[in-house]
Each structure stands twice: as structure tokens, then as C-alpha cells.
Structure 1
Amino acid sequence: MAEWCEGLMNKIHSHAPDLAQVFGSSKHLITGSILLLLAGLTAAGIAILSIVLAPVLILLSPILIPVGTVLFVTIAGLFLVGISMLGFILGVSWLYSYVRGRNPPGSDRVDYARLKIADTASHVKDYAMEYGAYLQGKVREVAPGA
């Protein structure tokens, strides 16, 4: 039994942390404690501030809510106008580059769509001419003098 106990003590001593590991662990422990203290102080400060400011906000809410609404709508409108102007400027710039033949990104898709539309229009025109000739022939069959 004494040998077993002695072997266990040797294993414990061989795995014992050295001084650098102890200082590293204590550094992390101290830093974590400070951060936990600061988090608690922040939570307490927010609670006290909300207790103090709640009556003030309730008393001023008939003024603050309409003012906040107007400010929000105004800022949102200005943002929307700015984004729309930016989109317009980018679109005109792209169109100018396309017309000048500089091949902006996506111009190949526009060219493909243009060719596809022209091809479809040509097919529709040919079909209309064939169908028109067919209808004229039918009209002549039904009313030969017309």
C-alpha cells in the first residue's frame, strides 16, 4: 500500500504546475474578476438610471414622441431620397457607358435580351403575315366577290 501511495505522489508531483502556469492562471482570474465587477457596476448603473429617468420620460412623452416621430420620418425620407439619387446616378452612368460602347457589367445580358426581343418580334411579324394571307384566302372562299 505504501508503494501505491508513493507512486501516486510521484505522479502528482510530476504533473504539478510550475510558477509560470500559476502566474498565468492568477492573471486570468484577476482579469475575469475585474470584468465581472465592471459588468455588475454597469448593470447597477443602468438600473439606477432607469429608475431616476422613468418619471422624467413619462412626463415628457407627450413632447418627445411626436418630435421623435417627426425626426424619424424626416431622416428616413432623406435617406430614401439619397439612396434613390444614388441609384439614378449609377443607372445614368451605366447607360452612358453602354451607349458609348464601353461594355459596362451586364451589357452582355442587355444585348442578349435585345436580340431575343428582336428575334421574337420577327417571328411574330412572319406569323402575322402568314396568318393574314390565310385569312384573306378564307375570305375569298366565303365571299368570292368581296
Structure 2
Amino acid sequence: QKSPESSRVLRIGGVLAGIVTVMVAGTTAVGGTMVALLVASPLLILFSPVLVPLAIAAAVVLGCLVSFLAVVAMVAWLYKYVKGRRPVGANQVDAAKNRIVDTASQVTEKAREVG
């Protein structure tokens, strides 16, 4: 059997070994990142007249694609709703529609009472 003191020493040693391992791994990661930046920086500066417009064009194309997909999804949802297939969220739309109709009828009643 191990004494309580020896297991405490082992636990502290394990924690210290873990801390050292994390520090070495972090230092290696930071060092690797710095070397990669040193190597890539001249290439990025050299090709930036090509890369910057390319990145802007890619962002615009991606934005247009996402917008197109959103419109297609919206039209598909509206088609299902109009055809009575009850897509997801149709209950909330119906509740909002009923609330608007109720409010409009209340306003009409108040207008008739007033004048």
C-alpha cells in the first residue's frame, strides 16, 4: 500500500508534468505560427493585388448564393402554405393573422363608437 504522502507527491508530479507539457505545446504552436507568417507574408504582399479582389468577389458570390437559397426556401414555404400543406411555422402565421384581424375589428368598433 502507498502512503497518503506518496500519492500526494505523485499527484503533484502529474500536475506539474501536465503544466510543462501544455506550456511546451503552446510554445511550439506559437513558434510554428510565427514561422508560417514569416514565410507567407512576402507571398501575401506579392499576390495581394490578385488575392484581395478575388476575396471580395468570392464574398459577393457567396452572399448572392446564400440570398438566392433563402429566396428559394421562402418561395417553397409560401407555396406549401398557400396550397394548405401546413409547413413549419404556419400556426404562428395564422395566429398573427388572427391577431391582426381582431385588432382591426376592435379599431373599427372604436371608430364607430366615436363618430
* Shorter-chain TM band: 0.7 to 0.9
Q: Distance in 2 between matches of 1:106 and 1:24?
A: 60
Q: Distance in 1 between matches of 2:85 and 2:39?
A: 62
The match for 1:55 is 42
Alignment of 1:37 onto 2:28: no
Letter in 2 for 1:109: A
Partner of residue 60 from structure 2, selected from 66, 69, 73: 73
**Per-residue deviation, residues 55-93 of structure 1 (Å, max 9, x unmatched):** 111111111111111111111111122233334434554
Distance 1:91 1:29, change over 3 A: farther
Once the 2 structures are TM-superposed, how far is the Cα of residue 107 of structure 1 from its aligned partner? 2.5
The match for 1:113 is 100
Once the 2 structures are TM-superposed, how far is the Cα of residue 35 of structure 1 from its aligned partner? 0.9
- Report how many residues are paired: 110
% identity of equivalent residues: 14
Q: Which has the larger radius of gyration?
A: 1
Distance 1:37 1:111, change over 3 A: same
Letter in 2 for 1:71: A
Q: Distance in 1 between matches of 2:54 and 2:39?
A: 22
SS at 2:92's partner residue?
coil
Q: Distance in 2 between matches of 1:40 and 1:126?
A: 79
Q: Distance in 1 between matches of 2:19 and 2:84?
A: 58
The match for 1:20 is 7
More contact order relative to length (CA 8 Å, sep ≥ 6): 2
Distance 1:70 1:18, change over 3 A: same
Unmatched 5+ stretches in structure 1: 1-16, 129-146
RMSD: 3.0
Unmatched 5+ stretches in structure 2: none
Q: Distance in 2 between matches of 1:96 and 1:22?
A: 73
